[in-house]
Structure 1
Amino acid sequence: MDGASKPQVRTLLLTDLVDSTQLVERIGDSAAAALFRSHDRIVLELQQHWRGRLIDRSDGLLLIFERPIDGLGFALDYARSLRDLGRELGLKQALQARAGLHVGEVLQWENSRDAVALGAKPVEVEGLAKPLAARLMNLARPGQILLSATAEPLAHRAVRELGVRGDTLVWKSYGRWRFKGLPEAQEVFEVGEPGLAPLRMPAHTPKAWRDLPLWRRPVALAAEAMMAAGLAFGAWFLMHPQPAIAFAERDWVVVGDLRNLTGDTKLDESLEQAFRISLEQSHYVNVLSDLKVRETLANMQRKADVPVDRALGSEIALRDGARALLLPTVAEVGGRLRVSAEVIDPRTQTTVYAVMADGRGVESALGSIDQVTDQLRGKLGEALQSVQKTSVPLPNVATPSLEALKAFAVARNAANTTRDREQALGLYRRALQLDPQFALAHADMARLHAQLGEVEQARDEWRKALAIPARLSPQEKMSVELMLLQNSGPEIYFGKAQEYLTLYPDDFSIISRLATNLWHQRNDFRAAEAMVRRAIKPQYERSNSARYTLGIFLLGQDKFDAALVEFQHARQAGYTGGGEFYARAYDARGQHAEADKVYAASTSGRQGWQNDAAVSTWLDRQQWVPAREAAQAWYDRASANNDVLETLRAQAALASVGIFSGDTGATRGLQSLLAAVDRQSEAVDAIYPPASTELRMYAGLLAAYRDDRAGVDAALRSTDGSVAVREFPTLAQLRQVLLAEQARLSGQPKAAVARLQSLAKQDTALVAVHWALLRAERSAGNAVGMQSQANWLATHRGRMLTEATTTEVLRFFNVAIRE
C-alpha cells in the first residue's frame, strides 16, 4: 500500500441498488448481465459528466467528488437513468437505488500495482465520513437521496448550476437522527424530483432512529413515564387533550355549508366566505376549494347547490383525501351572536371537537370568525406561534362590510359556476362600491379577466389590488405580485414562483401555471412535466386540466403514446377544454384521419377551430388554400375586435402562408407585417413586452427561408440592443439563428455552424436552431452534420407541433418547413 495522504475534505456518495439479488433471480443471468452492462455504461457516463471518481462497486457504488453539487447531480441523474433503464427493459418492478451524500474529511490513497494485481482496489478511501454516508444510504427509502447537514447547504447554495432542473427540486428536512456507532445526532435532509423521489420521512432502522425529545419517546424511560402518567394523568387529560383526529401539517379539510340560525339572510354567503378566507391564511391547514367541492358533487351526481352537510361533506372528504370536515354555524344565543365550528371525522361522521366565539351584534361576526379559525388551527395541531404570525384580521384581508362581502361571495359563485362574465363583474363592482378598498375583489376580477384571455384588463385589476397592500393577506399579495411578473423576464418570474411555492407548496393553481410557463418561456418539457405532475392531485379542482397539460409536455418530448393516454384520461375524467394538442398527437404521427375525429368531437366540430390552431393544422398538411382562408378569417375577426396582438399574429400567419406556398405576393405580406409592427409596437408591447421584437425577428426568419439577406439584416438591425432579447431565452435563440443565417448568406457557413452547434445540443433549443444548423452544414459541405440535423427534424414532430415562444408565431414556421 502506498502512503496515505493527509486528510482532505471530499464529497462521498454511496448508493445501493434496491433488491438486486431478487431481481437477478427473477429475470435470469443472461438478462441480468445485459442489465448490468447497461447500468455500468450509465455510471461511467455520469461519472465523467459529474467529475466523480468511482472507488468501489458491487450492488452499490462508492464515489468521491470535489463538490457536493456534483455528487447531487450524479445522484439525481442516476435515479432518473435507473427508472428509464427499467422501462426500456420492460421490468415489472421499478429499478431504484438508495443514496447517501455527505461531506467530510477522508484519507485517500492508491494501492500498489502488486496489490491491485492481487485483487485490491486501485484507490482506498477511509475516514468517519464514509460510515456516515453509509448510514444515510441505508436509511434512505428506495429512490431516495438523503444528505447530511454538512452537504445540504453547500449543495443548496450551488443548485443554480443544475440549470432549470434545479428550480423543480424539493428540499426537505427530516430533523435530527441518531446513527449507531456515531456519537452525535445528525440532521437528515432529502433532495428529489417530484414524481421520481419518495419525498417521505425515512423509516427507522436498527442502526438509525429519530432523535426525539423525551416526551415523544414511547419506549425510552418507560418506567419513569408510567410513574409520571399515574400521578398526573387526570390533570394532563383535562388541561392538554390530545387531538382525536390524526391531522398532520398540510393535510386537507372540507368546509361544509354554513348553518345560519339567525334568520338574517345577509349572513349566509358572506360569513361562509369569510370563514374560508380566514382559515386559508394558515400554512398548516389546506382548505379544499369550493370549486373542487362542487366538482366532486357533480361526480357524485348531486346538484351543485345541494347543502354540504355532515353526511355529504364526509363523503366528499373521503373521496378527495381530506382529513377532516368543518361545519360552521352562526346563531343567536342569549342575546349574543355565536359563531361556532365542529371538526368532524369523515370516517365515522362523529364530532371530534367544537370551538366557538361570542360577540354582540352582527358587527362582531368577522372578529368571532377569526377567533374560531385560530382555535381550529390550534386544535388541528398548528403551533400557537404560527397561528399568531399568519393570522391577519378579516377586515384587513377582506372587508369590514358584510354587504360587500356578500356581493363578493355571490360574484365568486357566479364566476366559478355559471361562468356569467357580466353578472360576476357587476357583483364585484358592487362589492367595490360598498368598500372601495376591497383589494381581494380587484384580485378576483383580475383572475376572471385572465381566464377569459383579457390580458390588459387582468393586469389593470391586479395593479389596483396591489395598490392596497394592507388589505391583502401575505399569500394573496405574493400571488398578485407573481401574476404581474408573468410577462416579465423568465428568471425574475421563476425565482419569485419558487419563493412562493416554498411557503405555499400545495397551491396547485400556481404549480400548474408555473409548469405552463416553463413550457411557454423555456420550452423545457422535462422540467414542465415534473412540475405539472405535482398538480395532478385529487384535491385540485383542475387536475383533469393539469393531466391534459401533461399530455402536451409528453407530446413535446415525442412520447406520442404516453401523451395520448393522458389526453384520453383527461377527456374521460370530464375535461372539456380545447383539444388542439390531442389532435396534434395524431398529426405528429401522420394519422390525420384520427386527428380529424378529435377535431369533430370538439364542441363545434372543425368550425370551432379558429385562429392559430386552424392555420397550423393546414400548414402542417401543406394545404395552402384553407390555411390562407383560416388566417384571413382570423385577421378579420381580430381587426373587428380591435385586438392589436391577435391582429399582428394573424398577419404573421398570412405572411407565413404566402412564403411557404410560394405566393408571388409573399414579399408584400412580409412588408405589410413589418409596417404593422412598426405602427403598433408600443400598443402590443404594453400587452406583452417581447411581442414586437419576436414579430420582427420572425419576419427575418421568413426572409431567411427565402435566402433574402436584406430581410435578415433588417430584422437584426431593428432588434439590436433589445432588452427582450436579453431577458427571454427563446428570443435570444432566435437572434442567434438570424445571425447564423446572416453568416451563411454572406458565404461564411462554418461561422454559422460554430454559432449554432453548442446551442443545438441543448434540450431547450428551438426547432429553428436545428433547421438553420442543417442549412449551415449543407453550405459548409458537411454531409454528416447535415444528416444529423435532418434526422433530428424528422424524429421530433411532437416538439415541432408544441414548441412555444412569446407570441407563438414560430409554430407556423415549425410545422411548414420540410428540410
Structure 2
Amino acid sequence: MQQHRLVAIMFTDIVGYTALMGSDEERAFEMLQNNRDIHTHLLEKYNGALIKEMGDGMLISFDLGSDAVRCAIEIQVACREKNIPLRIGIHEGEVIFEGSDVFGDGVNIASRLQSTAEVGSISITGSVYRDVKNKTDIKTQFIEEKFFKNVDEPIKIYNVNCEEVPATWGSAKYSVNKNNQRKPIIVRLLKTIPIIIIAITVVITIFIIYGSTTIPFTERDWIVISDFENLTDETILDHSLNTAFILSINQSRYLNVITRQRMIETLKRMEKENSTNIDEETGREIAIREGIEIYVVPTISRVGTQYILTAKILEAQTANNLKSEVLYAENQDEIIEKLDQLSRKIRRSLGESSFRILNQSKPLKKVTTSSLGALKQYSLGIESHLRLDFKKAKMHYENAIRLDSNFTSAKASLGNLLFEKFDRNEGRKWLDKAIVSINNLTDREKFGILAFYAVNVENDLDKGIEYTEKRLGLYPDDPAAHNNLGWYFQKQGQYDKALDEYKTTLQINPYMMLTNSGISWIYLEYLAQIDSALTWSNRMIKFAPDNPWGHFYLGSAYVGKNDFVKAEEAYLKAGSLDPNFLMNQYRLAHVYRLQGKFDKAIDVLETILRKNPQESSSHYDLGVNLNLIGQSESARNHFLEYRKIAETWLDENSDDPKSFIYNGIVRTRLGDKAAGWEIGKKALELNVPIYFEFAQLLAVLDRKSEALDYLEKALENGYKNLVWIKLHPDIQLLHEEVRYKELIHTYFGNP
C-alpha cells in the first residue's frame, strides 16, 4: 500500500570505499561497521528511520528537517574521529512510501545532492534550509543554485557547518521542552547582569575577535619564514620543524607565506642555489629582494629536559625586532603541540583575530603527525621533490609512512609523485588511501589533492576546476592553485580563461616559469598569436635565462614569423642548455631542412637516434632528409625501420585513425602509393575529424588539391598551430602552392 508523506530524506555515502575494498579489505569492513554503529546510535537519538542500506550508503527519513540536520552533524563529527570520509545530502519534500521502500522526486534530489557534496560535508536544499535557518545551533552557508537531472526547477544548495556537535541534545521535540524549562532562568539571569558588565564583556569580545597590532602588516600581506635554528644537539629536529611550522601558519587565510619553491628560485638569483639552510641573514635578504616587509626567524633550544621555542618577527629593511614569542615544551612529545601554539601566536601578533584562528585551523598533529621522525622524513621528501630529485623524495615519503602509517600528507605526496613520475597504478593506490583520510589535511592541501585526484584519476576536469576554485575562495593569493586552474582550463580548450589564471599566477609570483611556459604554449599552438608568443618568450628568458624552454619558445615564435635564422639561433641556445631536450632538437632539424641545410639536419637526427634508439620519428625525418639529398637507399632503410614501429602501433591501436594514417604515409614514402592509400583511407572510414593528419597523407600521395581541402577544414575547425604547419615535413610539400599561401594569409594574416 502506498503512503504519501512530507519528510526529510537523508543520503549518506562513504567516499572511496570501493577503492579501499580493492586495496585493504579488512580496513574497509572495519570502516563500514564503524559507520553503521555511528548511524544506528544517532538515528535512535534523533528519531530517524533507516529505510535501506545500499552497500556503503544509507537512505534515511526524518519527520523534521532540523532533526535530520542535527543528526547529520553528529554523524560527520563522529565519522571524522574514526577517519571515515563521508558525504551527506538532505532534501525535504513529499515522497511515496511503499512497503520497505521509498520513491519520488524528493528521494532523487537527496541522492543527487549527496553525490555532489564534498568529502566530510553536509549539503542541504532550500526546503531544509527554511526549517533550520533560525536554529542558533545550526550554521549554514549558501553555495550555489544548480539544476539536477529530471528536475525542472533549479535547486538552492546550502552547506552546513559540521565542525562540532549541535548545542541542542537529541530530537527537536525533546529540545523544545528542555529549552522551555531553561528559559525563565536565563531571563532572570540576564535581568541581574549590570549594564556596565555587559559593556565590558562587549569590549573584551571585540578585542578578542578583531584584535589589534602595532606591527606594519595588513591582511593578505606576505612574510618570509627562515629555517628553524636548531640550538640543540638533536638532529631529529632538523628539517622537521620547518615543515610543521609553515604548514600550521599556512592554514591562515589572513596572511601569505613565501613558498619554499619561490625561495629556492630567489636563492638562484642570489647565486646561493646550493644552500640547504635559510638562516636569519638569508631570510632577510630574500624578503628585501621580494619586496616583503616582515620576516620571521624561529629557534629551538634546550635547557635540561625543557625545550624553548622562540620566534622573532623582524622588519626586513632595518632588521629591527618588532616582537618575540616564546613557548616552553616540557619534553620532546610536547614540541609539535607547542609549535602549533607558536604559529598561532605569530598570526595573532600580525593582526589575525583569535576568532578566525580558532575557526580556520586544524591541530598540527592531525594535519601532519605526532612522530618527529616521520615529520623529518616527510620534510626531506618535500625538499628533494622541490629540487627535482624524485627518487630521493620517494624514499623519504615512504620512510615517513613507515614511521607513521596514518600520515595522510605523506601518502598524498607519495601518491602524487608516483602517479606523475614512476607508476600511475601504484600512485593511484596511495592517492586512494589519502582520500580516505582527506579531512586530516589542511584545507589548502585537501582541495589540492582532491583536484589532482579528480583530474588525473577520475578524468573529471569539471570537478578538478570546482575543487581548485574552492581552494582559491579560501586562499586567493595561492599561485600554485591559479596555475593549476589555468592548466585545467587549457585542457578544456578555454584558452582565454587559462591565460587569465596564468597571468594572475605571475602577478603573484613572477618566477613561476612553468606558468610562463603555459602562456607561451597557448599563444603558439592554440591561438597563433606570434607577437604575443615572442613577448612572453623573451620575458621567460629575462627571468630565467638558463631555462631552455624560454629559448625553445623563442625559436618557435621566430618560425611563426618566417625568421629561420633567428629560430636556429634560439634552438641552438636551448640545446646548449639541455642537450637531451628532444622536442627542441627535432625542431632544430626541421629548421635546418627548411633552410636547405640537410647535412646539419641529418647530424641532429642521427645524434637523437644514437642517444635514443627507440625514437621512431628520427627514422622518418632522416628518411625525408636523405631523400632530399639523393641518398634514396639510406632513406629507404630508415623508412623501413619506421614502418616496423608504425605497424606495431596499428596492431596495438586498431581503433586509432592516426595509426592508419601513419602507416599509409610511410608506405607511400616507400613507393607503394596504392597500399598507402588503401590503409590510410581506413582512417576516413572511422569518421574522426583529424583533418590535419588527412592533409599530411594526401600531400604525400601528391593529391595536393585534396590535401589543401583537408588543411582548410582543419583551419575552419579551429586548428591554430601555425608553427607546426610550417615545420611539418609532409605539409612542406604544399608550401609552394598558391592556395596554401592564400590559406595561411586568410587565417593568420602575414606571419
Is this a same-fold pair by TM over 0.5? yes
Aligned mate of 2:690, from 710, 719, 734 = 734
- Could you tell me how far apart the structure 2 residues matched to 1:564 and 1:616 are? 17
- Could you tell me how far apart the structure 1 residues matched to 2:209 and 2:143 are? 44
Instruction: State the one-letter code of the partner of 2:743.
Output: Q
Q: Which residue of 1 aligns with 2:332?
A: 362
Confirm or deny that 1:252 pairs with 2:252. no
Confirm or deny that 1:435 pairs with 2:390. no
Contact kept, 8 Å, 2:211 with 2:352, in 1: the verdict is no
The 1:501/1:629 distance shift into structure 2, 3 A limit, reads: farther
The 1:305/1:397 distance shift into structure 2, 3 A limit, reads: same
Contact kept, 8 Å, 2:223 with 2:296, in 1: the verdict is yes
State the TM-score, normalized to the length of structure 1: 0.53
Contact kept, 8 Å, 1:697 with 1:735, in 2: the verdict is no
State the TM-score, normalized to the length of structure 2: 0.57
- Could you tell me how far apart the structure 2 residues matched to 1:394 and 1:680 are? 50
Confirm or deny that 1:509 pairs with 2:480. yes
Q: Which residue of 2 aligns with 1:584?
A: 556
- Could you tell me how far apart the structure 2 residues matched to 1:282 and 1:429 are? 29
The 1:598/1:259 distance shift into structure 2, 3 A limit, reads: same
Correspondences of 1:583-662 after superposition (within 5 Å): 583-602=555-574, 604=576, 608=579, 611-622=582-593, 627=601, 630-631=604-605, 634=608, 637-638=611-612, 647=615
User: Per-residue deviation at 1:570?
Assistant: 3.0
Instruction: State the one-letter code of the partner of 1:791.
Output: H
User: Per-residue deviation at 1:278?
Assistant: 2.0
Q: Which residue of 1 aligns with 2:648?
A: 676
Q: Which residue of 2 aligns with 1:468?
A: 434
- Could you tell me how far apart the structure 1 residues matched to 2:465 and 2:523 are? 21
- Could you tell me how far apart the structure 1 residues matched to 2:543 and 2:690 are? 39
Confirm or deny that 1:409 pairs with 2:363. no
Contact kept, 8 Å, 1:437 with 1:468, in 2: the verdict is no
User: Per-residue deviation at 1:275?
Assistant: 0.6
Deviations 1:528-563 (A, max 9, x none): 4433222224646x4345445544444455555554
The 1:384/1:613 distance shift into structure 2, 3 A limit, reads: same
Contact kept, 8 Å, 1:323 with 1:345, in 2: the verdict is yes
Contact kept, 8 Å, 1:466 with 1:481, in 2: the verdict is no
- Could you tell me how far apart the structure 2 residues matched to 1:401 and 1:259 are? 20
Aligned mate of 1:760, from 690, 715, 722 = 715
Correspondences of 1:264-663 after superposition (within 5 Å): 264-301=234-271, 305=275, 308=278, 312-332=282-302, 336-382=306-352, 386-417=356-387, 420-445=389-414, 455-457=421-423, 460-461=426-427, 463-469=429-435, 470=437, 472-484=441-453, 485-486=455-456, 488=459, 494=465, 497-515=468-486, 521=491, 526-537=496-507, 539=509, 542-547=511-516, 549-556=518-525, 557=527, 560=530, 562-578=532-548, 579-602=551-574, 604=576, 608=579, 611-622=582-593, 627=601, 630-631=604-605, 634=608, 637-638=611-612, 647=615
- Could you tell me how far apart the structure 2 residues matched to 1:766 and 1:603 are? 22
- Could you tell me how far apart the structure 1 residues matched to 2:586 and 2:707 are? 35
The 1:447/1:769 distance shift into structure 2, 3 A limit, reads: closer
The 1:434/1:717 distance shift into structure 2, 3 A limit, reads: farther
The 1:546/1:367 distance shift into structure 2, 3 A limit, reads: same
- Could you tell me how far apart the structure 2 residues matched to 1:536 and 1:492 are? 24
Contact kept, 8 Å, 1:655 with 1:669, in 2: the verdict is no
Q: Which residue of 1 aligns with 2:745?
A: 791
Contact kept, 8 Å, 2:306 with 2:331, in 1: the verdict is yes
Most deviating of 658-667 and 264-273: 658-667
User: Per-residue deviation at 1:368?
Assistant: 1.8
Instruction: Indicate the RMSD between aligned Cα atoms, in angstroms.
Output: 5.4
- Could you tell me how far apart the structure 2 residues matched to 1:515 and 1:656 are? 38
Contact kept, 8 Å, 2:650 with 2:659, in 1: the verdict is no
The 1:678/1:648 distance shift into structure 2, 3 A limit, reads: farther
- Could you tell me how far apart the structure 2 residues matched to 1:506 and 1:235 are? 29
User: Per-residue deviation at 1:287?
Assistant: 1.5
The 1:629/1:247 distance shift into structure 2, 3 A limit, reads: same
The 1:236/1:562 distance shift into structure 2, 3 A limit, reads: closer
- Could you tell me how far apart the structure 2 residues matched to 1:671 and 1:258 are? 59
Contact kept, 8 Å, 2:571 with 2:585, in 1: the verdict is no
- Could you tell me how far apart the structure 2 residues matched to 1:769 and 1:566 are? 19
- Could you tell me how far apart the structure 1 residues matched to 2:639 and 2:389 are? 45
Unaligned residue ranges in structure 2 (runs of 5+): 1-141, 148-197
- Could you tell me how far apart the structure 1 residues matched to 2:220 and 2:717 are? 37
Deviations 1:623-676 (A, max 9, x none): 55655665565456445xxxxxx7566667668779999966797566434322
Instruction: Report SS of the residue matched to 2:295.
Output: strand
- Could you tell me how far apart the structure 2 residues matched to 1:650 and 1:446 are? 34
- Could you tell me how far apart the structure 1 residues matched to 2:692 and 2:516 are? 34
- Could you tell me how far apart the structure 2 residues matched to 1:363 and 1:429 are? 23
Deviations 1:771-801 (A, max 9, x none): 9xxx9xxx9xxx998764242477576xxxx
Instruction: State the one-letter code of the partner of 1:581.
Output: Y
- Could you tell me how far apart the structure 1 residues matched to 2:204 and 2:434 are? 51
User: Per-residue deviation at 1:260?
Assistant: 2.9
The count of residues paired between Structure 1 and Structure 2 equals 537
Instruction: State the one-letter code of the partner of 2:343.
Output: T
Instruction: State the one-letter code of the partner of 2:561.
Output: R
Instruction: Report SS of the residue matched to 2:253.
Output: coil
Instruction: State the one-letter code of the partner of 1:508.
Output: P
Contact kept, 8 Å, 2:658 with 2:693, in 1: the verdict is no
Instruction: Report SS of the residue matched to 2:547.
Output: coil
The 1:508/1:720 distance shift into structure 2, 3 A limit, reads: farther
Instruction: Report SS of the residue matched to 2:690.
Output: helix
- Could you tell me how far apart the structure 2 residues matched to 1:498 and 1:672 are? 47
Deviations 1:551-579 (A, max 9, x none): 44444555555544443443343442223
- Could you tell me how far apart the structure 1 residues matched to 2:562 and 2:638 are? 28
Contact kept, 8 Å, 1:257 with 1:272, in 2: the verdict is yes
Instruction: State the one-letter code of the partner of 1:394.
Output: L
| Identical-residue share of aligned pairs (%) | 19
- Could you tell me how far apart the structure 1 residues matched to 2:423 and 2:378 are? 19
User: Per-residue deviation at 1:511?
Assistant: 3.3
The 1:522/1:421 distance shift into structure 2, 3 A limit, reads: closer
Instruction: State the one-letter code of the partner of 2:400.
Output: A
The 1:238/1:524 distance shift into structure 2, 3 A limit, reads: closer
- Could you tell me how far apart the structure 2 residues matched to 1:674 and 1:384 are? 65
Instruction: Report SS of the residue matched to 2:213.
Output: coil
Q: Which residue of 1 aligns with 2:177?
A: none
Instruction: State the one-letter code of the partner of 1:478.
Output: F
Instruction: State the one-letter code of the partner of 1:400.
Output: S
Deviations 1:435-476 (A, max 9, x none): 3444434544566678xxx64436733641441332543433
Correspondences of 1:25-44 after superposition (within 5 Å): none
Contact kept, 8 Å, 2:409 with 2:434, in 1: the verdict is no
Deviations 1:191-236 (A, max 9, x none): xxxxxxxxxxxxxxxxxxxxxxxxxxxxxxxxxxxxx999999998
User: Per-residue deviation at 1:395?
Assistant: 3.2
The 1:235/1:510 distance shift into structure 2, 3 A limit, reads: closer
